[in-house]
Amino acid sequence: MSEAFQTPLFLMTAVTALGLIVGSFLNVVIYRLPKMMEQGWRRECCEFLAQDAPNDPPLSLSVPNSSCRDCGTAIKPWHNIPVISFLLLRGKCAVCGSSISWRYPAVEFATGMLSLAAAMSFGLGWELAGALALCWCLVALTGIDIDTQLLPDSITLPLVWAGIAFNVFGVFTDLQSAVVGAMLGYLVLWSVFWLFKLVTGKDGMGYGDFKLLAALGAWFGWQSLPLIIVLSSFVGAAIGIILVVAKRQGRDIPMPFGPYLAGAGLLWLFFGDWLNAYYLNIVGL
């Protein structure tokens, strides 16, 4: 490895640029992956009912090329530079002038900044590689859950195994803590789900939430779970109350919990030791 790449300034610049590029790709994942899942479900239903499969156009993360949702014009490479193109185009399509959602540059910027934070926190090494992978997956899951209230198995399950794989070598915690963390992460929310359902007769959360907490347990160990649950529940409840009071969301309308779990996981990634010490001090342990 050249000494230039190990220079902190070069490393942070390179990782931030990489994060911005990945953020642009995550916008595609957030938009297309749920649609790809819907196509798969329709095909499976047709096969089960012995009906002709729907003639859906080909859709993957690479096909078709990105285009304007209003005029259908393919987006030129120079119109797809993360954040910069949005600013230069003033948030509008270069051809038809229709507005481009602010969320595209927001996802790119957030991914870039999280990547920069990872580079500053961990430096060059396996911790940085793991932190980047985790951050990028959590950004994608957050966007998908906000849009569709889905946490795809194609992201959450590999995230569980990736956490265990990294911790085979003790990157973030020891292997035993990682395995126990994955088990407890799933079982805790699974138990809450069924307790809530037995009491109220309603579903309180989705199975994707169990798998996401299992993934965070696999990455950080069972010791992280109490604080991650407390943080995500507190922030989720506070935002839910604000939305209800502001009448932007009814009390019976389900609210995605994945973004709060993801946010708590990111807080633990960057401030875990400090947060844990502060939490233990508060509870008197």
pLDDT on residue 250: 56
Same domain as 134, residue 75: no
The verdict on 140 and 67 lying in the same domain is no
Q: Are 167 and 178 within 8 A, CB to CB?
A: yes
Tens of pLDDT, residues 134-192: 999 999 999 999 999 999 999 999 999 999 999 999 999 999 999 999 999 999 999 98
Same domain, 285 and 163: yes
Q: What integer pLDDT is reported at residue 248 of this predicted model?
A: 63
* Residue after which a domain boundary falls, among 93, 124, 155: 124
Residues 44 and 142 in one domain: no
DSSP 22-55: HHHHHHHHHHHHHHHHHHHHHHHHHHHTT-PPP-
The answer on pLDDT for 237 being more than 80 is no
- Give residue-wise pLDDT tens across range 1-25: 455 555 788 999 999 999 999 999 9
Q: What is the pLDDT of residues 179-228, one digit of tens each?
A: 999 999 999 999 988 888 888 877 777 889 999 999 999 999 999 999 99
- Vertex 179: Cα angle to 177 and 185 (nearest 5): 90
User: Are 166 and 195 in the same domain?
Assistant: yes
Backbone angles phi, psi at 63, to 5 degrees: -130, 130
284 — pLDDT class (breaks 50, 70, 90): low
**Average pLDDT for the chain:** 88
189 and 98 in a common domain: no
**pLDDT confidence tier of residue 247, bands split at 50, 70 and 90:** low
pLDDT at 57: 81
User: Which pLDDT does position 238 carry in this prediction?
Assistant: 74
Total number of domains constituting the chain: 2
Q: Are residues 130 and 270 in the same domain?
A: yes
Co-location of 155 and 85 in the same domain: no
Question: Based on the domain organization, do 115 and 155 belong to the same domain?
Answer: no
Say which residues have a Cβ less than 8 Å from residue 214's Cβ, sequence separation at least 6: 156, 160, 181, 182, 183, 185, 186
Question: Looking at residues 107-112, what average pLDDT do you find?
Answer: 97
- Answer yes or no: do 4 and 91 share one domain: yes
269: containing domain: 125-285
Q: Which amino acid is at 197?
A: K
**Higher pLDDT pick, 127 / 199:** 127
pLDDT at 43 (0 to 100): 87
| Residue 244: Cβ within 10 Å count | 14
How far is Cα 34 from Cα 69, in angstroms, rounded to an integer?
A: 17
* Average pLDDT value for residue range 262-282: 85
Residue finishing a domain among 124, 141, 164:
124
| 147-238-186-254 Cα dihedral, nearest 10 degrees | -40
Residues 173/220, Cβ–Cβ less than 8 Å = yes
Residues 139 and 19 in one domain: no
Same domain, 115 and 6: yes
In this structure, are residues 130 and 219 in contact, taking their beta carbons and an 8 Å threshold?
A: yes
Of 28-42, 47-61, 141-155, minimum mean pLDDT range? 47-61
Last residue of a domain, one of 99, 124, 149: 124
